[in-house]
Amino acid sequence: MTILKVSDPCRESCDRDFRGFVFALLVGFHALSLPAMADWPGLLGPNRDGFAAKDAKVSDHAKKPPKLLWEIDAGQGYAGAAIEQDQVVMFFREGANDVVQAVSLSNANPIWKTTYPAEYKQGIDSDTGPRCVPQIAQGKVFAYSASGTLHCLNAADGKKLWTRPLRKEYGADDGYFGAGSTPLVAGNLVIVNVGGRKKGGMVAVGVADGKTVWEATDADASYASPILWNQQVVAATRLDTYGLSPSDGTVLWKLPFGQRGPTVNAATPIRTQDNSLFLTASYGIGFLIANSSDGKIQIAHKGDAISSQYATPISVGQNVYGSDGREDGGSASFVCIDSKTGKTVWTQEGMPICHTIGIRSEAQSDLLLVGIDGKLWYVPASPKGFKPHWATQLPSGKYRALPALSKNLLVVRTSGGSNAKWRCFEL
């Protein structure tokens, strides 16, 4: 067990105004995280934890695959969709432009379309489209391009409100795949894993005007997205994970988690249901479970049972479920581990990399697994083993982008140039 001592400015100097600010900030975040019962407003759902809203429904598709409601061209990119009421917001590249577009969830009829000059040049991957899921919050859409430019639009009509070329401003490089960490909207702040120099590693800007509120660290960016945990912003960067004060960016703690060389941190940190922090990465890094209290970050467990290249696990009860393995490393597996002990509960071999959506009911929690090969499983979140209610196959395509679920409608995206599609299925 490792304990890293860090400064804790909150214990020494935070007055009631600061505590009230943090409380208001967190309350504000949770309020905008749950804008409507059927929404999937951005990365990993309403609470950035992989769970769908409470009214999500999935029928039995053991004998009949889900109905395809609509399909439209997707352009370049890997950004998943965001959903608010009947509006699906998409982010993709079309020729020389990055496009933010809203269509109807029920029939894909266009609502609005806004374009920006695309600036990202090809990295390791020939796809030069956006990687980050657009975020819908407070009547606005926030879209972070592969070149590291943050756009803010009016959610109702797509009107441009403000733009900040953050990576250019802070001198961040493109890395292997460009910018891929989806910003966190928390209260009146948009918090971005920029990866810039001179305190431009993590940057918070105002929701209203895009002006800088605070800057912190000079860490290179990762492809993992920041979250809120224990009244802190948790950001997994290229080589370290930080706990930051949400009000001013003060570094509360720093935890080494990463590997030099041709590696990435791409799975987003998660808060387990017993309030621990769970980190995972591939390339020989594995997973880490930590706790934070009294200005310290305490490592409880380490292991390699879940070493996820980019798919974010999900926490249900005492267990964490997620993909282990790399897309470029052949077959992966789907694993359940006990978050209290760090021990493996079960492993299902021969699986593709899977994105996971949690669905709660009065009886139990279930997992909807979307394999990058288009295989779909509906599985009980159970420590008793991998025993699907049903499994089926979606139309051909590479389903790398994060899925979105609103009520019983699943929006997915395939990649592949001119063959890339947005698809909506009725579950």
Find the radius of gyration of the CA atoms of the chain: 20
CA angle 423, 336, 374 (to 5 degrees): 20
pLDDT at res. 16? 32
Angstrom distance (rounded) from CA 395 to CA 154: 34
Q: What integer pLDDT is reported at residue 417 of this predicted model?
A: 73
CB atoms closer than 10 angstroms to residue 262: 8
Q: Which of 31-35, 136-140, 155-159 has the lowest mean pLDDT?
A: 31-35
Report the distance separating Cα 348 and Cα 413, nearest Å: 25
Instruction: Report the pLDDT averaged over residues 360-365.
Output: 86
- Per-residue pLDDT at 289 exceeds 80: yes
Q: What is the mean pLDDT of the chain?
A: 90
Better pLDDT: 292 or 18:
292
| Cβ(398)–Cβ(353) below 8 Å | no
Distance CA 189, CA 204 (A): 6
pTM over 0.75, yes/no: yes
Q: What is the pLDDT at residue 341? A: 97
| 3-class DSSP assignment, residue 193 | strand
Q: What is the largest CA-CA distance in the chain?
A: 62
pLDDT at 29 over 70: no
Bridge partners of residue 172, in order along the sequence:
none
Which residues neighbour 5 within 8 Å (Cβ) at sequence distance 6 or greater? 295, 296
- Give, as one character, the DSSP assignment of residue 209: T
Residue carrying structure tokens 């990202």: 120
pLDDT at 331: 78
Start-end of H helices in 213-346: none
The full DSSP string for 342-400 is: --EEEEEEEE--EEEEEEE-SS-EEEEEEETTSEEEEEE--TT----SEEEEPSSSB--
Range from 51-65, 376-390, 406-420 that averages highest in pLDDT: 376-390
pLDDT of 5 > 50? The answer is: no
HSE (side-chain half, CA atoms, 13 Å) at 343: 3
CA distances from 196 to 67, 202, 206 (A): 45, 8, 18
pLDDT at 293 over 60: yes
> Is residue 24 pLDDT above 70, yes or no?
no
Confidence (pLDDT) at 85: 93
pLDDT, position 21: 31
Concatenating the DSSP letter of every residue in 148-173 gives S-EEEEETTT--EEEEE-HHHHHT--
Q: Is 249 left (phi over 0), alpha (psi -120 to 50) or beta?
A: left
Average pLDDT, stretch 51-73? 95
Question: 416 versus 273: which is more confidently predicted?
Answer: 273
Can you read off the two tokens belonging to residue 154? 């009016």
- Is residue 8's pLDDT more than 80? no
Q: Is the pLDDT of residue 11 over 60?
A: no
**Digit-coded pLDDT (tens) for 315-356:** 999 999 999 999 987 779 999 999 999 999 999 999 999 999
Q: What percent of the chain has pLDDT over 70?
A: 91
How far apart (Å, rounded) are the C-alpha atoms in residues 369 and 376? 6
Across the range 276-292, mean pLDDT stands at 95
Q: How many CB atoms lie within 10 A of CB 141?
A: 27
What lies within 8 Å, CB to CB, of 371 at 6+ separation is 351, 352, 353, 354, 377, 399
Dig out the tokens for 413 from the structure. 């995206």
Per-residue pLDDT at 292: 85
Starting at the earlier edge strand, list the strands of the sheet with 160-164. Answer: 135-137, 140-144, 150-154, 160-164
CB of 252 closer than 8 Å to CB of 231: no
222-255 burial: b if 16+ Cβ within 10 Å, else e: bbbbbbbbebbbbbbbbebbbbbbbbebbbbbbb
Cα separation, 266 vs 279, in Å, equals 10
- End-to-end Cα spacing for the chain: 44
